[in-house]
Amino acid sequence: MKRISVFIIFTLGTIITIYLSYSYLTNNYYFNNGINNNNDGVIPNKISTESSLKETTTMPEKSGFAQIREKDRNYVCGDSIQNSNEFISEYIIPFPCSQPVGLTFDKDNNIWIAANWAGHFLVFNPQNNTFIKNISLPQRINQGTFGSMIWDMKFDKNGDLWFTDENSNSLWKYYVKENKFEKYKTPTRGSYPSSLAFDSKDRVWFTEIFGKKLGLVNPLETENNTTKGIKELDLEKIVKFETMGPLSTGYNNSKSGYNNTNDEILWLSTVDFPYGGQIVKFDVSTENSTVYNLNNTNSVPISVAEDENGMIWTNDHASSLILMLDPKTGNIKQYATSPASTRNTTTLPYFNEYSDGKIWFNEHEGNAIAYYDSENKTLIEYHIPTKDKLWGNTSNPLRFTIDYHGSIWFTEWTENKIGVLHKEKMNQFPISLSTSKDPMIIDSNTGKGDIIDVYVNRNNFNNSNTANTVSNELINMFVTSSISKTGQLWNLTSKFNKDQFMTSDIPSFDEPYKVTLEINPTNNIVPGNYTLTISARYDNIITYSKIIDLIIK
């Protein structure tokens, strides 16, 4: 039971596996009937994604797996609708119920997607927005009722693709030019390899969810279908924990061309349950570790990223908070997202990555792709257009990657889709927000609260001087705080003088709309230093927030 509870929190996939308990099968039949399977694996342009889905409504009785029950398809196969908004475009995977999780991009900036339960890698060309190739995965990966959850996949310097496979307890290497797969077994049985990273020598480091070890693959010593060339470091010798989070490289050694093996760092998280965990800094050259304890935050740290200032960021995947650790001082600062635009009480920030001065992350239950700009103290959340009511209005965006051009690609696990936030659209905010001061100060002894003015601007991209020339959309105001795990203002009351208005209420592009926010303490307020997230949500498409300090004396 303990292992199951760990796995439920770390991967949404197992939640479904345990909860739905339906029989699943391979989708090779779907794929071969919807797309002409040529020897080169190229998908003909005349076959559209939508028509492929329409043709695939039944499953062959001789498939070797049980049929998907009709009622269960609603949970795992998506709606076959290609949605979009001003920022995000979606593309339907050309056969149903593929359950995409891991994804990456190659040297030509094509997007590779692991269609886990369909048994294929798919290649998507962003230039013409089409799937151009499919590659059948070895049958061993697809064995079992649910197939394998391929959480991570990356190309090495030679252009070959490495990926994790929990089902066979292995790492795989796909030789792209030779169209050949090799499997490298982890020595620890049931270890569940989930995340990988390369060092400057192109060796492959990986984490094990249940094995509790940091693994290393030396490609020069490996042998197919064996454990040769793999060693494991037992992290439980330095810290006690229940499971491990993803692996990332330090900021310096993640930069292109970095080749200093004497200063090469890996970062990872370890997790205790029900709450608590650590951030681990691992020195590649010395194989020494430094542990930063987060137990006092009651967080479940998942995913770690280092920024250019040496600050360490992690996501609390049991709340609506992201955390920043200063490794020099050990100080931790927490930040709340805006409230979920779904029916969920938390947004569950999941994986993160630092790029172009921003910490990017996906909101698992918030159903958004987001970034926080710590220099400008600005949080931007781009809401994903597909909202599955059966999942609390989320599309389950489990993984994302940032391509060569800076666009964000992500998978929608239960919706049979991939999505993209295009680089050229990221900064076209219809609104922006500023505040009259920072911080807000609350006095718990006297019960005195504080008031702040919030200014909402309508941004002009059409060189027009009147707000009436643009669409009239609804704007909702929110406030959240790191004072609670859900972002709610516990033991505080908050009130906007106007928490909802239209863009037409904004006088002009040069004159903002002013809103006043008042916050007062109630009984049992706990003094301390927190953060406050003040948000304006535009038409449930994008949320623009400023994060300020909240001091409670």
Q: Once rounded to an integer, what is the mean pLDDT over residues 184-188?
A: 97
**Residue 95 has what pLDDT?**
82
Q: Are residues 469 and 392 in the same domain?
A: no
pLDDT bracket for residue 73 (50, 70, 90) = confident
Rounded to 5°, the CA angle 471-474-478 comes to: 145
Residues 324 and 270 in one domain: yes
> CA-CA distance, 474 to 537, in Å (whole number)?
8
State which of 398, 420, 450 marks the end of a domain. 398
> Closest Cα partner for 105 from 402, 490, 317?
402
Q: 23 in a domain, yes or no?
A: no
Q: Is the pLDDT of residue 258 over 60?
A: no
Q: How far apart are CA 384 and CA 366, in angstroms?
A: 9
The more confidently predicted of residues 470 and 445 is 445
Residue 191 resides in a domain: no
Domain-embedded: residue 360: yes
Q: How far apart are CA 336 and CA 345, in angstroms?
A: 13
Kindly state whether residues 286 and 352 are assigned to the same domain: yes
Distance CA(409)–CA(103), nearest Å, equals 8
pLDDT at 55: 28
* Of the residues 398, 414, 439, the one at which a domain ends: 398
Residue 249 domain-assigned (yes or no): no
For the chain, what is the mean pLDDT?
Answer: 86
Rounded mean pLDDT, 176-192: 97
Same domain, 503 and 442: yes
Number of domains in the chain: 2
Please report the sign of the dihedral spanned by the C-alpha atoms of residue 17, residue 22, residue 23, residue 29.
negative
pLDDT on residue 96: 83
Tokens 């076209």, located at residue: 428
User: CA torsion sign, 282 to 11 to 115 to 212?
Assistant: positive
| Residue 68 confidence (pLDDT) | 55
Per-residue pLDDT averaged across 7-18, rounded? 37
Q: What angle do CA 116, 119, 120 make, to 5 degrees?
A: 90
Average pLDDT over residues 159-178: 96
Residue type, 368: A
pLDDT of residue 460: 80
Q: Residue 484: pLDDT above 60?
A: yes
The verdict on 337 and 451 lying in the same domain is: no
pLDDT over 70 (residue 28): no
Q: What pLDDT band is residue 47 in, cutting at 50, 70 and 90? A: very low
Mean pLDDT of 500-520: 96
Question: Both 376 and 447 in a single domain?
Answer: no
- 414 neighbors 78 (Cβ within 8 angstroms): yes
Q: What is the CATH number of the domain that holds 352?
A: 2.130.10.10
Please give the share of the chain, as a percent, with pLDDT higher than 70: 82
Is the whole model's pTM more than 0.85, yes or no?
Answer: yes
In sequence order, which residues have a C-beta less than 8 Å from that of residue 312 and are 6 or more positions away?
A: 267, 279, 292, 304, 305, 306, 324, 325, 326, 327
- Return the C-alpha torsion angle 330, 335, 340, 343, nearest 10: 50
End-of-domain residue from the set 373, 398, 423: 398
What pLDDT sits at residue 33?
33
Q: Does a structural domain hold residue 106?
A: no
Name the band, by pLDDT with cuts 50, 70 and 90, for residue 375.
Answer: very high
Q: What is the pLDDT of residue 76?
A: 86
Q: How confident is the model at residue 175 (pLDDT cuts 50, 70, 90)?
A: very high
- CATH number for the domain harbouring residue 528: 2.60.40.2310
User: How many C-alpha atoms does 534 have within 13 Å on its Cβ side?
Assistant: 30
**Quick one: pLDDT at residue 461?**
64
Q: Residue 62 domain-assigned?
A: no
Q: Is-cis flag, bond preceding 430, omega within 30?
A: no
Question: 175-181 — which CB contacts under 8 Å span 24+ positions?
Answer: 176/106, 179/135, 181/137, 181/138
349 and 449, same structural domain?
A: no
Q: Are residues 258 and 383 in the same domain?
A: yes
Confirm whether 269 is domain-assigned.
yes
| 337 assigned to some structural domain | yes
Rounded Cα–Cα distance for residues 546 and 548 (Å) = 6
- Of 37-51, 120-134, 248-262, 457-471, which range is least confident? 37-51
User: According to the model, what pLDDT value does residue 139 have?
Assistant: 74
What region does 409 belong to: left with phi over 0, alpha with psi -120 to 50, or beta? beta
10 phi and psi angles, rounded to 5 deg: -75, -35
Percentage of the chain lying above the pLDDT 90 cut:
75
pLDDT confidence of residue 313 = 99
Expressed as residue numbers, the domain containing 325 is 254-398
Residue 462 has pLDDT above 70, yes or no: no
Q: Are residues 387 and 505 in the same domain?
A: no
pLDDT at 7 over 50: no
Average pLDDT of span 431-458: 98
Residues 462 and 393 in one domain: no
- Position 386 confidence tier, pLDDT thresholds 50, 70, 90: very high
**Claim to verify: residue 365 and residue 299 sit in the same structural domain:** yes
pLDDT of residue 116: 82
Of 38-42, 107-111, 234-238, 346-350, minimum mean pLDDT range: 38-42
pLDDT at 257 over 60: no
Is the model's pLDDT at 143 over the cut of 60?
A: no
Predicted confidence (pLDDT) per residue in 285-332, tens digit = 999 999 999 999 999 999 999 999 999 999 999 999 999 999 999 999
Domain shared by 294 and 394, yes or no: yes
| Residue 39, pLDDT above cutoff 80 | no
C-alpha angle 76-80-85 in degrees, rounded to nearest 5: 110
